[in-house]
Chain A
């Protein structure tokens, strides 16, 4: 799509996003995020990376990873955070709002229509059976993500990380404690342990 037809990985020097050849405008931001959102079944991130890095070349792969890492460690829906951080980087607050709106409004309208259909027809037997089957599969997908994310901890034999993970799982999943209480206890603990471990690792 972009006029430059560079292929493969160009060894990119560490340049700021503003120096990249393409700088999206507001309408472009809205449309690009609307497109990746509507393409994103079961998660938008893959499509966001494809559109931003490969298709439009608005960011290098490294810049995208850094931006995503920031959005992942902040609270809230990651891709939504990404849209605002990305949009505002190019066009300030207006750019952030354009990307945010593009990401959320179209699928939200669709979701509202589906919600209305569900409220009206949700008790019809055929629909009930289909939804029951879909939710079985959807839960399986969610569980698979957990195991995929767990693999690096297991490979690194990160006993402390795995211990914290299990503790949170028990507190929320089995004991059904409130999220805020669990995180207010677990986050400082995990941070303290990690800082101490880092200090020991690099004297």
Chain B
């Protein structure tokens, strides 16, 4: 909002470019979203970023829809639409093109090699997401403990994540955090 240029154009340019580097899905791009939305453009505060991440996890749909919320807070409904389409459109077209190409060419094994090379990078990116989100959300030791407990439970059990979000919300409501 406080950048001089047209905010819609900034959103489209920012997320369109970002999507091309979002290897490993939307959660791998969280650090970059945080860097741009909080540190560079000052669209959101650290706390607000943690909040909208929580909202995006609470509601159904692909994880990428956190960009809808960023876009909305920058430029209302038009911003929400622009950010979402910019984040999803170009890579969707790329995926369409590549799948058509692969369907025509003979089944080659090169995607397996490329995938093996990209997997460690996307895990590193998602780890960085976890760190940045934890720094934004966990301001007290109790909060850190809750995050650790949720991580341990989700790692060790097949409990539906929604119950853990609900438990977090109830603990927050009770004033524990």
Contacts and interface: CB of A to CB of B under 8 A. Distances in A.
A72 interface: yes
A76 B92 contact: yes
Nearest to A138: B57
Interface in A102-138: 103-104, 106-108, 110-112, 114-116, 118-119, 122, 126, 129-138
A161 B120 contact: yes
A84 B120 contact: no
Classify the interface of chain A: helix, strand, loop or mixed: helix
A186 B151 CA distance: 28
Interface of B: 17-27, 29-32, 35, 39, 48, 50-65, 68-69, 72-73, 77, 80-81, 84, 87-88, 90-96, 98-100, 102-103, 111, 113-134, 136-138, 143, 146-155, 160-162, 164-165, 167-173, 175-177
Interface residues of A, number: 94
Contacts of A139: 50, 53, 130, 133-134, 137-138, 147, 150
A112 B72 contact: yes
Contacts of B99: 67, 70, 85, 88-89
B151 A143 contact: yes
Contact of A164 (B27, B124, B143, B177): B124
- Of the candidates A85, A115, A133, the one having the most CB atoms from chain B within 10 angstroms of its own CB is A133
- Of the candidates A40, A81, A110, A146, the one having the most CB atoms from chain B within 10 angstroms of its own CB is A146
Nearest to B137: A135
Nearest to B34: A176
B154 to A, nearest CB: 4
- Of the candidates A37, A138, A173, the one having the most CB atoms from chain B within 10 angstroms of its own CB is A138
A72 B176 contact: no
